[in-house]
Structure formats: C-alpha cells, structure tokens
Structure 1
Amino acid sequence: MKIGIIGAGSIGLLFASYLSKTFEVNLYTRTVEQAADINQYGILIKKGSEQSIAIVNACPVREWAGLDDFTIIAVKQYQLQSIIETIRFQSMVCENFLFLQNGMGHLKWLENIPAKNLFVGTVEHGALKEGSNVVYHNGVGITNAAVLKGKIEPLRHFSDLTPKEFPILVKKDYREMMVNKLIVNAVINPLTAILGVKNGALIQNQYYYKVLVNLFLEICNILGLENQEIYLEQVLKICQNTANNRSSMLKDIEAGRLTEIEAILGYLLDEAAKQKKHTPQIEIIYYLIKGKEQDERGDHL
C-alpha cells in the first residue's frame, strides 16, 4: 500500500518516519533541496536518547500526481488552499485523503473536493523539526481520524496496518473529535504564544490560569457545550502532561512564521458572529496574535 504525505514539516516528517515501517511512503516537500536531503540521508528521527533513520521516497510537491493509495495532507492550514487546487486537478486518481490541520476553519474548503473518501484527523503527538530531514518526537500520543465524506472502510484498513507504536484511532463523529482538539488548541496555543511561556505555566501561574478559564468558558458558550468540567479537565491534563513543551503557535511566532490562528480563533469568531454573540476575550487574543505575527514577520498594514 502506497502512502503519500504532502508536507514535510514536523508532522509530515514524523508520520513519514513511523509509517515507513509498514508502508511504502512517498513524501512531497515544498523545496527540491529538502527532497534531495531526505533521499540522500533519510529521515533522522530522535526520541529521548534514541535515534533512527527512516528511508522514504521524497520529491517536490509539484511532482505529485495522485498515484498513491492513501494521501495524508500535513501542511499548515494557511498553506492548504494551493494544495486543495492541486487535489481537485488530480483527485480522480487518488480516492482517499486524510487532512491533519489544526482548528476547524478549513473544513468548509474540503466540501467541494471531488474525491470519494475524505477523512480528517487530530494529532496528539509532539514533534519538532530540527533540520530539513531531522525531527524530534518530543511527545508521544495518538492520532484520531474520522470520515468527513465517503466510506469508513479505507480508513479502517489504513488504521489496521499502521505500526502499533504509532496508532491511528478511527472515531465515529468527526465534529466531536475536531471540537475536542479545537478547545485545546484555542486555549493553550494562543495564550502560550502571547505570554511566551511553556504549556505548564498556564496552570502553574494563578493569574494565567484565570485567563485560561475565562477564555475556555467563552469558547464553550460559542460551541454550545454541556459537561464543561470534562472539557476543562482535558485542557488542564494536557497542560500538565506537556508542561515542558512549547506550543506550535509559540514556535511559529518565535520563528517569524504565520500561525494557524485563522483556523482556530478565526473559526470561533465566525461562529460567534453567526450566533450574534459577543466574544471579547477571543477577539482580544485573536488580534494580539495577529499583531505578534506582524511584528515578528516585519509586515506592515
């Protein structure tokens, strides 16, 4: 079974490394140079004091022809539009796509892709790209996946063949799955990015914790969630379990990259506007992140 992975950032490299143990993996990179490095040296994956080399086939994404049996889209949300246009052109070849973007703002973009089976997933691993062909697996978790459109059987088949140490769990309800991850991303990522702190600081500092709770309650109001204590417990548990980790949004800000704020808080602001709800906390934090992006990237209005 041939697996294609579009995107060779931290998540793309991580998935390519593990999936290469049971699949033939084709990794599609943004640049020719990265593809050349991966083909020459393989992917070096680090995990604690251990490290290993994974051998995959790599080529620039412009050479993707949709010939893989199952294609994973591992680019950031703001990079997705151009990939979708490519998929629309080639989708009659590849029938199975799994999208691994944070947030939920991108879901509306997937509706018109003419592929037979569209799946969405949430990744609970921690990964850090340390070079063009080097990835550090700094947080072991799972991947959840569910059907957005089409049949569940290809996803189950893919899940059954994945390595035991890198499980992909099939969920029945994509929205519930995505909402669970959205809440975590919407609370932890922007707050750590604004404050410049590791995840654990949000529960270790009593004042940061108050902001966390206020933001969480506003998010729950937009999403119409009951049993809010369960969702809050999940957020706090992740803060505790990843206390020494720096969130992906914080790393993006520090590196001068765009963040996925549009897919996360931008989505919530759109939902709030539809419901005519006032969301001062989310709005303030959204604009602060946009301001951080502008400052770090040197952009000007």
Structure 2
Amino acid sequence: MKIGIIGAGSIGLLFASYLSKAFPVTLYTKTSEQAAIINQNGIYLQEGNAQSRFSVRALPISKWAGIEELTIIAVKQYQLHSILHQIASLEFNPQNLLFLQNGMSHLKLLKNIPAANIFVGSVEHGASKVNTYTVSHNGKGAINVALFRGAVERIKEFAEVCAAIHFPITLKDDYYRMLINKLIANAVINPLTAILQVKNGELITNTFYFAAVKKLYLEITFILNLEDPIKQFRNVLRICKKTGNNRSSMLKDLEAGRRTEIDAILGFLIEEAGIQQKTASNIESYYYIIKGKEKDRRGS
C-alpha cells in the first residue's frame, strides 16, 4: 500500500518516520525547499537519547495527484481549505483520505469531498518538530481512527500493518464520539498550557493549575452534555501524564508567531454553547486571551 502524507509538521514527520518501516511513503511539504532537504537528509526521529534515520521521498504539495492508496492529511484545520480545493481539482477521485485535525470544525468541510472513503482520526502522541527534517517523539499515546464516509475495509488492512511495526492504530465505531473525546482534551490542555506557558504535565502537578483544569473541564462537560464526565476527566489526566514533557501545539504555535487552532477547538464549543443558549464564560475568556496573544505575536 502506497502512503501519501500531506503536511511536514511534527505529526507529518512522526507518521512518515514510523510508516516508512512498512510502506512506501511520499511526504508532501509546503515548500520545495523542505522537500529537497528531506530528500537529501532523510527524516531523523529522536526518542530520548536515541536517534534513527528514515529515508522518505518528499515532494512539494503542488505535486500531489491523489494516486496513493491512502493519503493522510496532517495539516492544521485552518489550512484545510487549500487542500480541499486541490482535491476538487484532481483528475480522478482519491481512494482513501484520513484527516488528522484537532477540534471539530473541519467536519462540515468533509461532507462533499469527492473521495471513495473518508476517515478522521485523533492523535495523542507527543511530538515536536526540531528542524525541517527532525522530529522528537516526546510521549507515546493512542492513535484513533473512525470511518466518516464510505467503506472501512482498507483502513483495517492499514491498521494491521501498523500494529506489526509498533505504531498501533485503534479503529473506532463512532467518529463523532471519538473526536469529542479528543476535543475535550485539546480544549483543556492547549489553551491553559499556552496561556500559562507550561508543559502538559504541569497542569496536574501544580495544584493551582489543576484547579483551573477542573473548572474549565466542568464548563466543557456542561456544554457537551457528557454522559460519563468522570471517565472523560480521567482520560484528560491520562493524556497529561503520557505527554507530561511535551509542550502543546498551541503553546508552540504562539511561541513561533503562528496562527493557533483555537477557533476549531474553543470556537467550536462557543458555537455549541450559543446553540444551546448556555453560558461559557471560562471558555470565552480563554478564547479571547489566545486570540489576543495571536495578535500580539503575529502583529495582525
């Protein structure tokens, strides 16, 4: 099975590294310069004190033609529009597309995509991009995938091989519930770590930060009408522990002066609160703080 990966950020580099152990992988980058560097150097994967090198073919995203049996789309939610435009302009429909975005706002964008099978996923691994061709694997977590539209057989074959190379993928029956579970973790961990400028684990080791975690979580459960909030809270704590040394993607985006995914995460919850006519004062406050920090860092 040939694999295409669109996006060479931390998750794209991480997936390209592991999947290249079992599949022919083509990594599609934002620029021709990054593709050339990866073709020359390969991808370096750092795990603790160990470092491994993987040879991966790289091309600029403009060269993607949708010919791979599976294409994994690992870009930010706000970067999807250009990708979807490119999909619509392909000569023929791609076979299998797997979208790995944070938040929930992208679901409405996937409904009319001309592809045979569409999958969505959530990634709980901690990873950070060290440079153009190096990724640090900071914490192992779960990768969950569910069918959004079409048939599930092809992704089952993919998951079986991933298990064999110790990069397991768990198939879920309900994509909405799966993404809600990840949304909750993102909505708690990302904005708080970004505002406090701390690693994920500090949210549960610092008693005062932990109080803020609980207060924000309760408001999220109120908006989402969760059936088992205790179980979900344990999941948030589990992710904080597993990725304790990781700096959240939102914190890294702010530090680098990049746009964050706050609209796809807290923005989605604010919309849900409005639909249900519920108050979301904590969520709104954190949303505006992150947007303000974006403006300060990006100068727009």
Question: Which TM-score tier does this pair reach, normalised by the shorter chain?
Answer: over 0.9
Aligned identity (percent) is: 58
Count of aligned positions: 299
Alpha-carbon distance in structure 1 between the residues aligned to 2:228 and 2:98: 30
- 1:9 is matched with 9
Q: Name stretches of at least 5 consecutive residues in structure 2 with no aligned partner.
A: none
Q: Deviations over 1:248-287 (max 9, x none)?
A: 1111111111111111001111111111111111101000
Deviation at 1:172, TM superposition (A): 0.8
- 1:98 is matched with 98
Cα contact 1:142–1:166 (8 A) shared by 2: no
Cα contact 2:93–2:114 (8 A) shared by 1: no
Deviates further, 193-202 or 232-241: 232-241
Q: Secondary structure at 1:221's aligned position in 2?
A: helix
Matches of residues 197-208 of structure 1 in structure 2 within 5 Å? 197-208=198-209
Q: Deviations over 1:169-219 (max 9, x none)?
A: 111111111111110000011001011111222222222222211111111
Deviates further, 159-168 or 246-255: 159-168
Q: Secondary structure at 1:90's aligned position in 2?
A: coil
Check if 1:134 corresponds to 2:151.
no
Cα contact 2:14–2:127 (8 A) shared by 1: yes
* One-letter amino acid matched to 2:211: K
Deviation at 1:57, TM superposition (A): 1.0
Alpha-carbon distance in structure 1 between the residues aligned to 2:238 and 2:169: 21
- 1:217 is matched with 218
Alpha-carbon distance in structure 2 between the residues aligned to 1:44 and 1:90: 32
* One-letter amino acid matched to 2:254: I
Cα contact 1:99–1:120 (8 A) shared by 2: yes
Q: Secondary structure at 1:11's aligned position in 2?
A: helix
Q: Deviations over 1:4-52 (max 9, x none)?
A: 0000111001101110111110110000110001111111111111111
Deviation at 1:142, TM superposition (A): 2.5
* One-letter amino acid matched to 2:45: I
Segments ≥4 residues shifted beyond 6 Å:
none
Q: Secondary structure at 1:52's aligned position in 2?
A: strand
Alpha-carbon distance in structure 2 between the residues aligned to 1:233 and 1:50: 31
Alpha-carbon distance in structure 2 between the residues aligned to 1:92 and 1:272: 40
- 1:78 is matched with 78
| TM-score (normalised: structure 1) | 0.96
* One-letter amino acid matched to 1:148: F
Matches of residues 165-244 of structure 1 in structure 2 within 5 Å? 165-244=166-245
Alpha-carbon distance in structure 2 between the residues aligned to 1:47 and 1:147: 31
- 2:33 is matched with 33
* One-letter amino acid matched to 1:238: I
Alpha-carbon distance in structure 1 between the residues aligned to 2:91 and 2:264: 24
Check if 1:262 corresponds to 2:263.
yes
- 1:161 is matched with 161
Deviation at 1:92, TM superposition (A): 3.0
Cα contact 1:187–1:216 (8 A) shared by 2: yes
Check if 1:151 corresponds to 2:151.
yes
- 1:124 is matched with 124
Alpha-carbon distance in structure 2 between the residues aligned to 1:232 and 1:91: 46
Deviation at 1:131, TM superposition (A): 1.0
Alpha-carbon distance in structure 2 between the residues aligned to 1:44 and 1:154: 29
Cα contact 1:44–1:52 (8 A) shared by 2: yes
Cα contact 1:18–1:166 (8 A) shared by 2: yes
Cα contact 1:145–1:168 (8 A) shared by 2: yes
Alpha-carbon distance in structure 2 between the residues aligned to 1:93 and 1:227: 40
Deviation at 1:238, TM superposition (A): 2.1
Cα contact 1:91–1:114 (8 A) shared by 2: no
